[in-house]
Amino acid sequence: MLPLDAAQSTYLFGVMRRKPGDELRVFDGQGGEWLAEVAKANKRNGLLLCKKAVAPQVTPPDLWLLFAPIKKARMAFMVEKAVEMGVRKLLPVLTGFTNERINIGRMQAHAVEAAEQCGATFVPDVAEPVKLLELLENWPENRKLLFCDESRQALPVATALAAQSAGPWAIVIGPEGGFSPDEVVALRRLQAVVSVSLGPRILRADTAAMAAITAWQMALGDWR
């Protein structure tokens, strides 16, 4: 039996008007997708009976997306696309030119909605924001970092990734204002960094995130 919290109960029985006996599919991010039946339709604390597993747990590759907060609508879009395309963790980073705030709870809700929409069985966590420079000082040495460098002095992303191997990776995308000079120095100095260009045009941060995830998934991820 699966007890539902108030938000889930309100949604299922207040908005979706599900009744006892109705069937639906549920997932919790670890155990794959299950067929469930409404056992108690109550807008505060509903109850589901999980009947059988219908799809295996599919966990995306170990890829983090580090992104500087951008305008709300675009950031929601970026989170939603990152979930659909397959990232393991979403990590907001505060940079010198970041001038937007982030509502973690709202971004996490967008991540859950995106997973539900695309039939995923995994929902990446949206972590609490951290200062980029501090994060780089303690960067995990076994994790490669794809630095999307808008100066375009770096290798084309396809060329760079062709020479790399799969494993724990992260992608870092700057804010509308780009990375500050000291952030660029700190990134280029990091052993784990692979600097890449995403082509000759300047992309918006949300576009750049999608482009970098696509390139990485095609070269090293679960799109091969």
Tell me which residue has its CB nearest to ligand SAM: 174
Dist. CA 214–CA 65, nearest whole Å:
12
Question: In the complex with ligand SAM, which residue's Cβ is closer, 57 or 180?
Answer: 180
Q: How far is CA 23 from the centre of its chain?
A: 29
Q: How far is the CB of 211 from ligand SAM (least distance, A)?
A: 8
Residue nearer to ligand SAM on the CB measure, 91 or 173: 173
The candidate with the shortest Cα–Cα distance to 49, out of 34, 62, 60, is: 34
Binding region for ligand SAM (CB under 6 A): 148-150, 152, 173-174, 176-179, 197-199, 201-205, 208
Sign of CA dihedral 61, 171, 101, 110: negative
Which residue is listed with tokens 């482009």? 211
State both tokens at 117.
């929409």
Residue with smaller CB distance to ligand SAM, 112 or 203: 203
Least separation in angstroms between CB 169 and ligand SAM: 15
CA distances from 93 to 52, 82, 97, 101, 173 (A): 40, 16, 11, 11, 9
Closer CB to ligand SAM, 17 or 201, in the complex: 201
Whichever of 36 and 90 has its CB closer to ligand SAM, that residue is 90
Rounded to an integer, what distance in angstroms lies between the CA atom of residue 101 and that of residue 221? 30
Q: How far is the CB of 104 from ligand SAM (least distance, A)?
A: 21
Are 46 and 4 in contact by the 8 Å Cβ rule? The answer is: yes
Smallest distance from the beta carbon of 88 to ligand SAM, in angstroms?
20
Q: Which is nearer to ligand SAM, 38 or 65 (CB)?
A: 65
State in angstroms the smallest separation of the CB of 171 from ligand SAM: 9
Nearest approach, Cβ of residue 42 and ligand SAM (Å): 47
Strand pairing of 47-55 and 33-40?
A: antiparallel
